[in-house]
Structure 1
């Protein structure tokens, strides 16, 4: 398998195909990623979500809006509001802002009535009050799916799309280590994935010191505080967006129920080092 590596949306991508991708296919992938980033990145001054945060309004719905925000509604219900898409200002307040200042200004809960402030359907996306949309809980998974499907439409039946560890595979099985969140040189287990997606999340990624303890990117939207119970999660599903959503939900009590509803296999590790997994999970966890 030929591997094309490049950097985009702040992470390293690896795309594997049988034989090198043609220049036109590479251009199409880059354009697809940039279009998504130009719409949904809260780190870009020229993005749609940045513009909406500065001037709440109704705009034509982007192609991914309904799929992602419908799933966010399910995430919010499953986690009792801990995961929701108006958490951008909460993340910025803790220092994970567009400038990557990592300067903690304290906890800032996201609006509990987010589903009233944010409205969407197939035709329009509307924000009715100042807020910063953040689709980090599922956005990278969604983009992996979009790129995966694009490559399929270009005739690449066997393909691997890996965006910083969130991946989707069609074709031959791929063996993936489950990185130990406290020792990135070792793994706590192995997953073998074929014709499915695997996504993971960990509190040691995108972490920085705070005034009252360590901070990281996984916040409880209800409090604006980082989660402290779980350190790392992994989820396998048919689509990367669903796997990404489950990997985020699993930091909270409602995560297992969300995963079960969507047929997701999962493993998670607590901050005390205990490992939990779903019934029927096929990922190998080392003793």
Structure 2
């Protein structure tokens, strides 16, 4: 059975061997709503929006794991990945109003760890800024949804439009060509793991504008067109899929035991030695 719904600005599909009870659907819906209410920069009532001008709030339960992940991402990419890139995305028109009107690129502050601090109980912005957790946030939410469904018998597939997790079985997944969504550059079997993908053809507006920015410049990346990462959980797969747009990505993948593929904007493909799928190009 397949349950489809929209959440955090994208389409979700949850496929299970047995129909989901209304109680389980309610638990999933509540988990998604809670995460969105805390981390969405598109909602006026979110925790992120409440911190735009600075301040301290009770730490959301996911703050530590996600911001610790950002610290590692920032380190391995030499600052290219930064959770305070929100103003940079808004400067290019990817804002709450979805104006899609591009202005001057805006880099994220390199000293973000002195601006955004967290403890097990508090989350503080020491000066105005906008948090964006797009580098790993959807993967984290996939893991949270999977935790709600962990006791289901049989195979469960959670597909959040590019971030996918399979439990209790296997699924053959096509690696969508970034410039032709009707074709694939390869296939891979995912069993008991998560596969997350990112590409410059997703969330595209204007001339050459997309959602993957180099935080050091505020400009969309130009070298890599698409990335795929397979890990034991979706948050790490999502984080590596982001890191692979930059030089430090393969090193992080190796340290975390993540298999990967990435494709340049001129069509060349790289893969990790342990990637077990088949590539057509």
Using the size of structure 1 for normalisation, the TM-score is 0.96
Out of 230, 238, 259, the position equivalent to 2:224 is 230
Alignment check: 8 A CA contact 2:229 2:258 kept? yes
Corresponding residue for residue 29 of structure 2: 30
Aligned length: 281
Name the residue aligned to 1:160: 157
Summarize the alignment of residues 88-103 of structure 1 with structure 2, pairs less than 5 Å apart.
88-103=86-101
Q: Match for residue 183 of structure 2? A: 186
In the alignment, which residue of structure 2 is the partner of 1:105? 103
Q: 1:216 aligns with which of 199, 210, 219?
A: 210
Match of 1:240 in 2: 234
Q: Secondary structure, in 3 states, of the residue corresponding to 1:104?
A: coil
- What are the ranges of 5 or more consecutive residues in structure 1 without an aligned counterpart? none
Task: Pick from 140, 143, 165 the counterpart of residue 142 of structure 1.
Answer: 140
Return the alpha-carbon distance in structure 1 between the equivalents of residues 251 and 29 of structure 2.
36
Match of 1:87 in 2: 85
Distance 2:120 2:165 in 1: 26
How much has 1:283 moved relative to structure 2?
2.0
User: 2:247 aligns to what SS in structure 1?
Assistant: coil
Q: After TM superposition, which residue ranges in structure 1, 4 or more long, deviate above 3 angstroms?
A: 154-158
Measured after TM superposition, the shift of residue 45 of structure 1 is: 0.9
2:67 corresponds to 1:69: yes
Q: Which runs of structure 2 are paired with 1:123-134 in the superposition (5 Å)?
A: 123-134=121-132
With 2-11 and 109-118 compared, the bigger mean Cα shift is at 2-11
Match in the other structure for 1:207: 204
Contact 2:167/2:192 (8 A) holds in 1: yes
Q: Which runs of 5+ in 2 are unaligned?
A: none
